[in-house]
Amino acid sequence: MRTATTQVHRIAPALCAAGLFCCGVATATHGAAAYNRQGAPLETAGRIETVTVHDTWAVVTRVATVELDAGTHDVRFINLPESIEPASIRADAGGRGVVTRLTYEVREDVASYQAGLAAIEAAHAEAAGQLAVLDEKLLVIAKEEGLLDAIAERTAQRSGEQVGSGRIDLDEITRVSKYLAEQHAALLERRRTVSAERRALQAKVDRLVEQKVEYQSAGPPLMRSALIGLTIDQISDPSMPIRLTYLASGVSSRISYNVRTDPALTQAVLEFELAVSQRTGENWDQVAFGYSTHPVIDPTAPPALSPGMIGGAGTENSSLAVRQEGDEGALSSGRASLARLVGQGGRVTSAGSLGSPPFALYRLPQPASIPSGGGEAPRLRLSTFILKPQFRYICVPVLSNSAFLRGTMENSSRVHWLPGDVAVFLGSEYVGETSIPYVAPGSKVDVFFGTDHRVTAQRTRISHRTRSTGLLGDGRETIVEYRIRVGNATGQGVSVEVWDRSPITRDDRIFVSTTAISPTVSRDEEYRLRQRGTGLLRWDLDLPATGRETTLNYTLIVSHKSDVPVPIIPD
């Protein structure tokens, strides 16, 4: 057994950085603490009132209502968790008393240890007594078996005498033999039952012996507490709430969302959730819960800044590398750019939400309970938003004949939408899972709700021909005509974006032009500024509910000298 030790840490109340403990206080009735003995500190575990999660840490506030007279007093908060950060502890008497000192204590809980040891010894004594009772039962069974054996021997001797005199009674011999056999069988079954009980009880006794040895080897458990010194000048109300706030480690959290839209596409519901699991060693039961993006920092010193290194592009240890697009021959297909437009099971893009979210505090509308330990992290609903998305179908027929339903949702609230995973639902159908970037208030985010077979787009190469041009046929010109048919069988008018591509060239000996575009490409300003010059073609269509197909046409012309090799024009 280890020797009793006491560790004491004194804490200045001003150690905590401003804004770190920003958790609000919920009004509640708290159990009052009481003195254990005359002149001793008032001891209380308090009640966990608020918890605010900061990434892997939690700010925990306990509250206890005490009744104190004017003067100086000591109040001790006991049963603090092992995961506590001692330097973070602070106390508050709500302005009705002055905290004059705060001491963090780590002591051996001898009383608890002795009570636990007494419980083990009592259980061992009880099991040993039950074991003795079973031994007595086995002894009685052995005596009964001996009696039956004596009766059987006496019966056999008497039968021998009857055989010699010629007066043998076979019926009596049979009756006695049957009786003896039945009694032996009954005793054998009792012995088996009692022996099984004894083996189980012996195993229990052995475990208790091992448990006692381990318990004594471990010694008294450590008890963590905070001793608060108070000075009270005058009393207007004898009931005084005292709050103890501290950081506890062992927390993990993850932001997630559910996005649900109805089949009629009239609105969408965005459910903003937080999954939290914790191993702090204390259970959070019906506490006012919050989540903060403010980092937990050491308030006693600023963070250390180390030099930043820049290596050459593409080097293994480079912290900054510039990736250049690889040449795909004289003509670039633009396949990567087009592929990024296709949403796979709920892909998300964003606009107007660049950068990182500011520090923010989120409060749950209802109290929450999160036990300490493993298991699946409970999901807490931070907020729910009713949205009116702008729905549009995205078609990329060069890659897929499917139409992808996109909903553009604007964050019209004052709440910052944090980065997180998103589960996408269309009606009761689960579409898929994706992720969402940071979306500031006033910004928009695009969510894809899967494919809709009722909207189709099919691309066809109508003609492909090559001819000689220029003086004496010195030039070559390849002309390719394309047609795209877009159909709407939804029974209602829909908006559709159709994307295609025209190859671009990095060789100044080759000229590429796209002509006879009908109808004209999109007039969207961002598209014309950022994507039109890369060879991507976009049409914005409003298809009526008639179900009649809409046709798009354009012609691609590639010109070059006859001696310039040109790769195959990609689709």
The first and second tokens of residue 36, run together, are 């254990």
Q: What are phi and psi of 94, to 5 degrees?
A: 70, 25
Computed on alpha carbons and rounded to an integer, the radius of gyration of the chain in Å comes to 41
Q: CA 119, 193, 176: angle at the middle one, nearest 5? A: 145
Q: Per-residue pLDDT tens for 346-386?
A: 445 555 555 677 788 999 989 999 999 867 788 899 999 99
Q: How many CA atoms lie within 13 A of 424 on its CB side?
A: 21
In terms of residues, how long is the chain? Answer: 571
Q: How many CA atoms lie within 13 A of 202 on its CB side?
A: 8
Q: Residues near 361 by Cβ (< 8 Å), separated by ≥ 6? A: 22, 52, 290, 291, 292, 293, 294
The first and second tokens of residue 394, run together, are 């995205």
Q: Positive or negative CA dihedral for 30, 31, 32, 35?
A: negative
Is the CB of residue 290 less than 8 Å from the CB of residue 24? yes
Distance of alpha carbon 154 from alpha carbon 159, whole angstroms: 9
pLDDT at site 259: 95
Distance of alpha carbon 104 from alpha carbon 244, whole angstroms: 12
Q: What is the dihedral of CA 281, 287, 290, 295, to 10 degrees?
A: -30
Q: Per-residue pLDDT tens for 16-56?
A: 333 343 333 332 333 445 444 446 889 999 999 999 999 88
Q: Which amino acid is at 380?
A: L
Distance of alpha carbon 143 from alpha carbon 157, whole angstroms: 21
- The three state secondary structure string of 478-532 is EEEEEEEEEEECCCCCEEEEEEEECCEECCCCEEEEEEEEECCCCCCHHHHHHCH
Alpha helices in 29-169 (DSSP H): 110-165
Q: Which amino acid is at 75?
A: V
pLDDT at site 344: 40
Is the CB of residue 506 less than 8 Å from the CB of residue 332? yes
pLDDT at site 164: 63
Residue whose entry in the numeric block shows the structure tokens 């106390």 = 91
In the chain, which residues have pLDDT < 70? 1-39, 160-169, 297-303, 306, 308-355, 374, 471-473, 567, 571
DSSP code per residue over 446-479: EEEEEE-TTEEEEEEEEEEEEEEESGGG-EEEEE
Distance of alpha carbon 134 from alpha carbon 142, whole angstroms: 12
Q: What value does the mean pLDDT of the chain take? A: 82
> Per-residue b/e over 65-99, b at no fewer than 16 CB within 10 Å?
bbebeeeebbbbbbebbebbebbbbbbbbeebbeb
Is the CB of residue 407 less than 8 Å from the CB of residue 394? no
Is the CB of residue 102 less than 8 Å from the CB of residue 89? yes
pLDDT at site 320: 31
Q: Positive or negative CA dihedral for 83, 87, 88, 90?
A: positive
- Ordered by start, the domain boundaries in the chain are 6-109+221-249, 112-218, 251-299+328-451, 455-561
The first and second tokens of residue 408, run together, are 């553009």
